[in-house]
Amino acid sequence: MHPNVSTNEPIPESFEELQFFGGANYHRGIEWYSKRFTAAHVVFDKSATYFDNPSAAKQAFALVPNAKIVVILYDPTRRAYSCYTHHLDRWLELYPLSNLILIDGERLREEPATVLLELAENLGLPDFDFKNRIRFSASKGFFCQVSKEKTKCLGRGKGRAYPPMSPELWSRLNNIFLPDNTALHKFLVKKSLTCAKMVTSAVRRMTNNRPINMCREVLMAVAC
């Protein structure tokens, strides 16, 4: 979307992702990896397999030690996914805190243009009018890219409608993920990192709103 940013060419056999670090394509080498991108001020590799892959952080640091690591935090109760703390620690054993950018996933969903503008600023990119390039799709239920006056959304697998979650299931999932949310909250406080709303809310909800140490009250930041 941003004219100074490019992502990789689609790789059909891996869901359009490179899945290079820690994946089956790593043996092809850095030259193969580099050729998957077009020249730009910032090149962006989004592969869902990197974050929790035990080899990805070491392999990435060996080849691109100055890379910025962008992590989007979502409520694991909604995503049925957790263990953020363990995986963040693995990446921060190699990359400095200044290379880590945390994004509140719920805020990204609700106000993507603002969050993307902040991300662009953190990456040293020129100003860009994201508001005129993003439009809410009522049929999808989320914001989509606007290209040549046409709305371009993600595939059919994204934005699917699910039945409402029962209060009983919601409570059960919150209990399941409480240890992970608590650990993540403590980790972010200790590192003086951004705290997504979902982390503080989840911990407060399951501790009967008892006072807790707060993360910084910003929703996206690069640690200084």
pLDDT of 113 > 90? The answer is yes
**What's the CA gap between 145 and 7, in Å, rounded?**
15
pLDDT of 124 > 70? The answer is yes
Which class for 199: exposed (0-12), middle (13-18), buried (19 or more C-beta within 10 A)? buried
Task: Determine the pLDDT at residue 209.
Answer: 52
Residue 182: C-alpha distances to residues 70, 93, 123, 193, 218 (Å): 21, 21, 30, 15, 19
82 is in an annotated binding site: yes
Residues of the chain above pLDDT 70, percent: 78
Highest mean pLDDT among 130-134, 147-151, 206-210: 130-134
What residues does 73 pair with on adjacent strands? Answer: 104
Over residues 116-129, the mean pLDDT reads: 92
95 is in an annotated binding site: no
The pTM assigned to this predicted structure is 0.73
- 129 in helix, strand or coil? coil
Over residues 77-105, the mean pLDDT reads: 78
Q: Identify the sign of the CA torsion 122, 96, 16, 138.
A: negative
Q: Which one is predicted more confidently, 183 or 222?
A: 183
The strand ranges marked E within the chain are: 5-7, 42-44, 69-73, 100-104, 134-137, 142-147, 150-152, 220-222
Task: Determine the pLDDT at residue 93.
Answer: 92
For the chain, which domains are there? 5-115+122-127+192-204+213-222 (3.40.50.300)
159 is in an annotated binding site: yes
Residue 26 near residue 20 (C-beta atoms within 8 A): yes
Task: Determine the pLDDT at residue 95.
Answer: 94
Highest mean pLDDT among 11-15, 17-21, 72-76, 160-164: 17-21
Q: Which one is predicted more confidently, 159 or 127?
A: 127
161 is in an annotated binding site: yes
Which class for 108: exposed (0-12), middle (13-18), buried (19 or more C-beta within 10 A)? buried
**What's the CA gap between 100 and 187, in Å, rounded?**
14
pLDDT of 217 > 60? The answer is no
Q: Retrieve residue 114's tokens.
A: 């603002």
Residue 143 near residue 112 (C-beta atoms within 8 A): yes
What residues does 194 pair with on adjacent strands? Answer: 216
Q: Which one is predicted more confidently, 83 or 197?
A: 197
Mind listing the pLDDT tens digit for each residue in 178-215?
Answer: 777 778 878 887 887 766 666 666 666 656 655 445 44
Mind listing the pLDDT tens digit for each residue in 29-55?
Answer: 999 999 999 888 888 898 888 988 989
Residue located via tokens 């869902």: 48
Q: Which one is predicted more confidently, 110 or 170?
A: 110
Tell me the H-state helices in 75-166: 76-79, 84-92, 105-110, 112-122
Over residues 14-21, the mean pLDDT reads: 85
